[in-house]
Structure 1
């Protein structure tokens, strides 16, 4: 039978004593500076400096969750760590303490070990409801915690600006390429129209066809009048009279002219008469009009992209500024010891239960 007293001492008492010794003699106080930030997209230009919360509640459109996640990953990335190492004595601050074995960073630590430690002392949490990103920085002095967090926010601001401007530059480049394509297409369509006009000797084939139809209508009306007058002359004069012959000759000339004008105006599909030329001219003018409208839209798109690229599209809004902590947040001795005690008691109870089952089956 297992001695319950020895089991209790080994599972609960000894770990609690070790934990108490650690918190009493080895644990180093860690101060936490916190800030809450958000990436916002401006709906328009706003003048002057506006406080973070007021800027959020004014005409600002929240950026996508995706972009906030980009910022969150950047805050705890190796790039951010390199910035801190270059501008602050980050490694000296954390590697300089030797007392706390759980938060000890060797001075010759590899970059992977430094990044892992960095992600322990710099933590982020994204609130799904408010869209705010909470950034906490732990340090051994309150001043250094605040200084690190301030530099993190300044670097994040530059990251957001560069991200915005890079997206704007990409949009500008795309709009300019589309403008170049639209201009080439417009010039090609216009050259086709000019070449068609030169080949057919018509500035406006549609108007020429309309004018030709008007001429044909006038010839038909005149032919009707001449035929009516001929019938009137034939009722009073002989067929061989000079007046009747002259009228017949005029009617014949009008019929020949009308036939010639009709042949010039109308032909079968694929022919080269004026109706076919006018239809082709109409198609070319439509193509030129479409290309021109596309060119105008591309010009407007480039101008809009230029305006967007010249202004601050996104901003890093600091809702809660970095604070200078007055008291150490970690280690939370009472909370940690109580949690450890409860966990050890549960473990002791589970071990007792398992051993009791084993003894019952062995009997």
Structure 2
């Protein structure tokens, strides 16, 4: 026995003993772990028309053809992160008391979770039992849940998929709401500014008893032109009278009074229209009114632009709406997938033999150098 140990001690220590331990673990200690899987993808809801059945058929066809462009790869990665997060674990703890299904399982020490485990330890254990695999070619996300109970594996996965769907809806709705709310805020500011400018223009019209200052100024010019035309006619009549009548005659004096009245009226009208500094003059009023009208026009154009922007924002928000589509539903397994005892033992044996071979080679090399 001693000779055998001396001769084969290295082989026994590196290969035989570890294999006995591995066999004892996989045969007697390791617990069956059931696996439930589901495949999901985040897809855009925007721009879909037609009946629901037709949309579903087109969606299924695009998935079969691997049309990754129709899916939102970025949001699918968000889902992958969310599934592995503390937030998802907290939901499972609240709804399923998740850690209690695994805690205190001393029988399988490799998957042992203490009953008083910290939150960080529970999260690490959770990330071992719940894993995700993302396929970049088509945007599909596969979620896998391991459990010692096959029914609990499916319940856990169903909850994860439902919460992931809620997460995607909330995320896309929030992004859409933020975009539309911003556009609505800009619209309200533009509307308020337009109302202020329009009110200022209307108040100016009311104060100066005008409908349109420029039209009033044009009307004033027409009055002056008419008076000047009458004045020219009056002067012509006066010259004709003086040729036939005495300058002191009543007709001549009356015509001169008419001319003076016309000249005075023209002066009054011109003073109202073009005097230099009075704020009540029509040229000044027309200039101020024109400035107010321009401001109101700019505000109106800005308001119309923000109305169009709001409609565009609503369309863009619709395009950004996302939904979690379940490609493969969660299954309730009939047989335990893990541990793969035969595969694991064979792999362990190969690794131990490799280690043994390396050790023998190292020992032989040392002995050659010593000799």
Tell me the TM-score normalised to structure 2 length: 0.73
1:24 aligns to what? 27
CA contact (8 A) 1:52 1:317 kept: no
- Write the distance in 2 (CA, Å) between the matches of 1:17 and 1:200: 107
Deviation at 1:103, TM superposition (A): 1.0
Query: Aligned pair 1:124/2:127, yes or no?
Result: no
Alignment of 1:347-362 (within 5 A): 347=355
Residues 6-15 or 75-84, more deviating: 6-15
CA contact (8 A) 1:190 1:288 kept: yes
2:88 aligns to what? 80
Deviation at 1:66, TM superposition (A): 4.1
2:44 aligns to what? 41
Going from structure 1 to structure 2, the CA distance change for 1:215 and 1:125 (only over 3 Å counts) comes to farther
- Write the distance in 2 (CA, Å) between the matches of 1:185 and 1:157: 42
- Secondary structure of the corresponding residue to residue 40 of structure 1: strand
- Secondary structure of the corresponding residue to residue 291 of structure 2: helix
Query: Aligned pair 1:203/2:211, yes or no?
Result: yes
Alignment of 1:244-283 (within 5 A): 254=262, 256-266=264-274, 272-283=280-291
1:145 aligns to what? 153
Alpha carbon RMSD of aligned pairs, Å? 4.6
CA contact (8 A) 1:36 1:318 kept: yes
2:144 aligns to what? 136
- Write the distance in 1 (CA, Å) between the matches of 2:258 and 2:354: 125
- Secondary structure of the corresponding residue to residue 149 of structure 1: helix
Going from structure 1 to structure 2, the CA distance change for 1:351 and 1:259 (only over 3 Å counts) comes to farther
Deviation at 1:149, TM superposition (A): 0.8
- Secondary structure of the corresponding residue to residue 152 of structure 2: helix
Instruction: Tell me the alpha carbon deviations over residues 308-330 of structure 1, each in whole angstroms, 9 at most, x when there is no partner.
Output: 999x9432211221123343322
CA contact (8 A) 2:42 2:73 kept: no
- Write the distance in 2 (CA, Å) between the matches of 1:211 and 1:334: 106
1:237 aligns to what? 243
CA contact (8 A) 2:238 2:255 kept: no
- Write the distance in 1 (CA, Å) between the matches of 2:281 and 2:352: 102
Going from structure 1 to structure 2, the CA distance change for 1:141 and 1:188 (only over 3 Å counts) comes to same
2:168 aligns to what? 160
- Secondary structure of the corresponding residue to residue 331 of structure 1: coil
Going from structure 1 to structure 2, the CA distance change for 1:137 and 1:222 (only over 3 Å counts) comes to farther
Going from structure 1 to structure 2, the CA distance change for 1:261 and 1:348 (only over 3 Å counts) comes to farther
- Write the distance in 1 (CA, Å) between the matches of 2:213 and 2:330: 75
- Write the distance in 1 (CA, Å) between the matches of 2:160 and 2:54: 21
- Write the distance in 2 (CA, Å) between the matches of 1:269 and 1:5: 120
Going from structure 1 to structure 2, the CA distance change for 1:357 and 1:196 (only over 3 Å counts) comes to farther
- Write the distance in 1 (CA, Å) between the matches of 2:217 and 2:41: 67
Tell me the TM-score normalised to structure 1 length: 0.75
Q: Could you tell me which runs of 5 or more consecutive residues in structure 1 were left unpaired when the two chains were aligned.
A: none
Q: Could you tell me which runs of 5 or more consecutive residues in structure 2 were left unpaired when the two chains were aligned.
A: 1-5, 63-67
- Secondary structure of the corresponding residue to residue 102 of structure 2: helix
Residues 133-142 or 157-166, more deviating: 157-166
Query: Aligned pair 1:114/2:117, yes or no?
Result: no
- Secondary structure of the corresponding residue to residue 243 of structure 2: coil
Deviation at 1:130, TM superposition (A): 1.9
Going from structure 1 to structure 2, the CA distance change for 1:233 and 1:157 (only over 3 Å counts) comes to same
Deviation at 1:361, TM superposition (A): 7.3
Going from structure 1 to structure 2, the CA distance change for 1:233 and 1:53 (only over 3 Å counts) comes to same
Going from structure 1 to structure 2, the CA distance change for 1:261 and 1:51 (only over 3 Å counts) comes to closer
- Secondary structure of the corresponding residue to residue 318 of structure 1: strand
Query: Aligned pair 1:286/2:289, yes or no?
Result: no
